[in-house]
Structures are given as C-alpha cells and as structure tokens.
C-alpha cells in the first residue's frame, strides 16, 4: 500500500525575457523542470530529516496565467507518496510538507531553482 499526502496547491511567478505568448510547450518544459526540482528537493530533505522515505513526489501543472508585461503565474499541485513500510505515525502532514515546499523557493534554494530553470 502507498500513503498519499497531498500538499496545498500553489503557484509560482516566472519573469521571462522572451516576447510573446508562452506556448503549451513552454509550460510543459517549465513544469517538467519544476517537477524534477521538487522531487529532488523532497527526496534529499526528507531523508535528512528522517521523515520517511517517499517513494515519489509528483507535481502536476494545473494552469497558467499570462498578462503582457507581468510575470507569468503557473499553478501546480504536488502529492507525496510514502510506502506502507514507513512509520505512519511519524509521516509529515499536508501542512508540514507545504511549509517545507515553501522553503524550496527562498534563499539559497531559490538560487538553485532559478539556476536549474536556465
């Protein structure tokens, strides 16, 4: 059995230099990079914190909002999956994981994220 822990849906604003409307392929590319970063971030972090070994973290694109001369807002949903062998009483909650996710995009973590996007 796998235990599913959904995180609170969230959005990320991207400032882009290319002119024109973003294509669906642009959203797909940034979403794939974003999902990979979130997976790597949680895999490393949860092992360090001893919060259980996730089998995987999935992040999906929920939509995007484009307005000329403004950052592009992209919305995501992330779900963490834990194996049934993990200690269920010590699994992080939705709230705990959401706080950890927020930390993925501040300070040094934000610099790593931006570097991965470029």
Burial of 97 (0-12, 13-18, 19+ CB in 10 A): buried
Q: Which of 94, 64, 53, 50 is nearest to 102 (CA)?
A: 94
26-71 pLDDT, tens digit each: 999 999 999 999 999 988 887 766 655 556 899 999 999 998 888 9
Q: How many CB atoms lie within 10 A of CB 74?
A: 22
Query: Mean of the pLDDT values across residues 84-88?
Result: 62
pLDDT of residue 2: 81
Inter-CA distances, 112 with 38, 55, 86, 116, Å:
11, 23, 29, 6
CA distance 16 to 83: 38
pTM reported for the whole predicted model: 0.87
pLDDT digits (tens, 9 = 90+) for 10-26: 999 999 887 788 999 99
Question: Angle of helix 107-117 relative to helix 24-49, nearest 10 degrees?
Answer: 140
């Amino acid at each position: 059995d796998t235990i599913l822990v959904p995180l609170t849906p969230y959005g990320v604003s991207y400032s882009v230099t290319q002119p024109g409307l973003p294509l669906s392929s642009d959203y797909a590319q940034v979403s794939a990079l974003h999902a990979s970063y979130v997976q790597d971030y949680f895999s490393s972090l949860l092992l360090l914190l001893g919060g259980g070994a996730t089998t995987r973290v999935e992040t999906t694109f929920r939509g995007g909002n484009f307005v000329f001369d403004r950052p592009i807002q992209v919305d995501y949903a992330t779900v963490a999956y834990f194996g049934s062998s993990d200690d269920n009483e010590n699994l992080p909650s939705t709230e705990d994981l959401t706080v950890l996710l927020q930390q993925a995009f501040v300070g040094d973590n934000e610099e790593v994220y931006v570097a991965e996007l470029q």
